[in-house]
Amino acid sequence: MEIKVLGTGCAKCKALEKATIEAVEKSGVQATVTKVEDIVEIMQSGVMTTPALIIDGEIVVKGKVPSVNEIAALLTK
C-alpha cells in the first residue's frame, strides 16, 4: 500500500503525517508513508486544500486531520 501525506509543512500537515504513521502501526498494514511538501506536486495531484491523504492513488482526506482510528479504518477497508 502506498500512502502520501500532502502538505507544505504547517502544523495540521505534520499532525496528519504523525496520525497516519500511528494508524499504519496500529492497523498492522504493510504500507509506505511518503510526505509530499512540493506545492507543484500537490497541485498536480488535484489537491487544493491541505493537508490531504492519498491511499493507493485515491484522495481520501482533504483539508482536515482525521483521528488515528478514522485513518486506520480507511487503511483496512
Residue 13 is among the residues annotated as catalytic for this protein: yes
Catalytic residue chosen out of the listed positions 1, 10, 43, 73: 10
Catalytic residue chosen out of the listed positions 13, 52, 55, 74: 13
In 3D, which of 8, 7, 19 has the Cα closest to residue 52? 7
Residue 1 is among the residues annotated as catalytic for this protein: no
Question: Starting at the edge strand that comes first in sequence, how are the strands of the sheet with 2-6 ordered?
Answer: 32-36, 2-6, 52-55, 58-62
Q: Which residues are catalytic?
A: 10, 13
